[in-house]
Amino acid sequence: MKKVFTIIAMACWTLITMNAQPDTSKTNLVYRLRIFSNINSTSWVHTQKAFAEAERLGADAILLHLNTYGGQVLFADSIRTKILNSKIPVHVFIDNNAASAGALISIACDSIYMRPGANMGAATVVNQSGEKMPDKYQSYMRSTIRATAEAHGKDTIITATDTIVKWVRDPQIAEAMVDERVFIPGVIDSGKVLTFTALEAIEHGFCEGTANSVDEVIGLLKLRPYEIKTFEPSFYDSIKGFVTSPVLQGILVLIIIGGLYFELQSPGIGFPLAIAVIAALLYFAPLYIDGLAANWEILIFIIGLALIAVEIFAIPGFGIAGISGIILTLTGLILSLLDNTNFDFSPVDTNAFLTALFTVFSGIFGGFIVAIWLSQKILTTTQGPFSKLALQTSQPLEQGYVSVDSGMKTLVGKTGRAYTVLRPSGRVEIDGQIYDARASEGFIDKDETVLVTAFWSGQLVVRQTDQ
């Protein structure tokens, strides 16, 4: 009987040990994404494509190979959200630096491994000059990094005398990486922004271990045997990242507005219009290829431009066509930046909408400022690159030059009809000829009888008669 129990016990132990052994028959697919530059629109484009490809290939893990001094908060937040929502476990290997935006991205990952001597932290929001931004920006970053740490939940430790519940990654420690006012005994003094070394990060639960290579990290993750697939961005991916930068998009809007303004100042198919068309293509093409700009959104933009042109060239004055054209043009530019499906805006968050608004309106404002500046520069410069873009010579009256046909003065006192609506400018027909005219008072409807009362600045001045 004893031998029977012994055999059964040995069989159970064999089954247990067999189940405990890792399955070495499977080769794990590890998808690596390298981020070795500042966090920007290009980093975000690469991240989206890499995560999509990892999911398509059925990767067992995604490994971020990170070395960055920070970057733009907008794109760092987008990347950390992508990581938190990923169905595939995401791990990070900090290869020397994960500062500022890099710290936020690292804390979002399921596990953090650091090279000995690496650093992580200093996530205070600063401007391009390195100066600290106002507290409203810091408040948003504090909340974001706390929420990121909280997303990893809590550990429950049961001892002989007590049950201890602690955060996997302490949100207060994460906040100390942003706010120098946070004081944590034994971790950071008040008045200093927190930055961890590798050993300090391990001690306080913000790093799972140190490693000198990607292979060591994969070994610590117990993913051997493994096959590694590294994301290799295409030329288009890099161009798209550059073109979809909010700064460049604002500049493209500026060029579109400025080009159209100058073309309207000197009608005809010319250099300003060509530049505006190229800028519009650069603005819409990557957004269209990426699926952000739909056909109908681009069509809205084109219709808006057409209505503005109709208002300027076919319907003198400024009315419904012009206002509608401006609204449609702005709508097309803004909607193209949003990840909406037709008229469903539920996937669009507030930050993305505000960014689109700021990008378009800052570009338009900048376009008008630059257009006005260039107009003054071209008109007043007598030397330099702008000197040949405007006529600098004069044609004085004393030498016989006249700006308009003085024979039009003979039309004063004659009657005719309004060839178009005058609001107050438009066209009139007198003795079978069409002339530019301006109503002296109010608007005049088409086909109403008009009387020429004056001739001023090359334009007839008319008023409506009772005939």
pLDDT in tens, 127-154: 767 788 888 888 889 999 999 999 999 8
Residue in the structure block whose two tokens are 């028959």: 25
Q: What share of the chain is helix, strand, coil (3-state, %, to 5)?
A: 45, 20, 35
pLDDT digits (tens, 9 = 90+) for 20-53: 444 556 899 999 999 998 998 889 889 999 999 9
- Closest listed residue to residue 223, CA positions, set 427, 40, 24, 419: 24
Q: What architecture is domain 404-464?
A: Beta Barrel (2.40)
Q: Which helix (H) or strand (E) element contains residue 45?
A: helix 41-57
Rg (CA), the chain: 34
Flag whether pLDDT at 106 surpasses 90: yes
Alpha-carbon dihedral sign for residues 322, 327, 333, 336:
negative
Separation of alpha carbons 435 and 442, rounded Å: 19
From the list 88, 103, 90, 95, the residue with the least C-alpha distance to 216 is 95
- Measured in degrees and rounded to the nearest 5, phi and psi for residue 338 equal -100, 145
- Answer yes or no: are the C-beta atoms of 297 and 335 closer than 8 Å: yes
**Averaging pLDDT over each range in 127-131, 319-323, 438-442, which range is the top one?**
438-442
Q: Which two tokens stand for residue 82?
A: 């992508």
- pLDDT greater than 60 at residue 381: no
80-89, 236-245, 271-280: least confidently modelled range = 236-245
User: pLDDT exceeding 90 applies to what percent of the chain?
Assistant: 33
pLDDT > 70? residue 229: yes
Mean pLDDT for the stretch of residues 233-245: 73
- Which of the two residues, 243 and 104, has the higher pLDDT score? 104
**What is the pLDDT of the chain when averaged over all its residues?**
80
Q: CB neighbours (10 Å) of residue 286?
A: 20
The model's confidence at residue 197, banded by pLDDT at 50, 70 and 90, is: very high
Query: What pLDDT, on the 0 to 100 scale, is given for residue 91?
Result: 97
Split at pLDDT 50, 70, 90, the class of 204 is very high
User: 467 in helix, strand or coil?
Assistant: coil
18, containing H or E segment:
helix 2-20
Beta bridge partners of 437: 426, 460
Please give the model's pTM, rounded to 2 decimal places. Answer: 0.61
The better pLDDT of the pair 313, 429 is held by 429
Kindly give the residue spans of alpha helices, DSSP state H, lying in 156-245.
Answer: 171-176, 198-203, 214-220, 235-243
Assign 219 to helix, strand or coil: helix
Residue 390 backbone phi and psi in degrees, to 5: -135, 150
Considering only residues 355 and 332, tell me which one the structure prediction assigns the higher pLDDT.
332
In CATH, the number for domain 26-234 is 3.90.226.10
Q: Is the confidence at residue 83, as pLDDT, over 90?
A: yes
Tokens at 297, concatenated = 């959104």
Pair of tokens at residue 180: 């120098």
Distance between CA 326 and CA 96 in Å, rounded? 50
Query: Does the pLDDT value for residue 9 go beyond 70?
Result: no
- Residue matched to tokens 């010319």: 270
d(CA 388, CA 375): 13
Read off the tokens for 61: 């893990």
pLDDT at 189: 83
Is it true that the peptide bond before 385 is cis, omega within 30 degrees of 0?
no
Q: Give start and end residues of each alpha helix (H) in 58-92.
A: 73-84
Q: ∠ CA(177), CA(49), CA(128), 5° rounding?
A: 40
What pLDDT digit, counting tens, does each position of 334-375 carry? 777 776 656 666 666 676 677 777 777 776 676 667 666 666
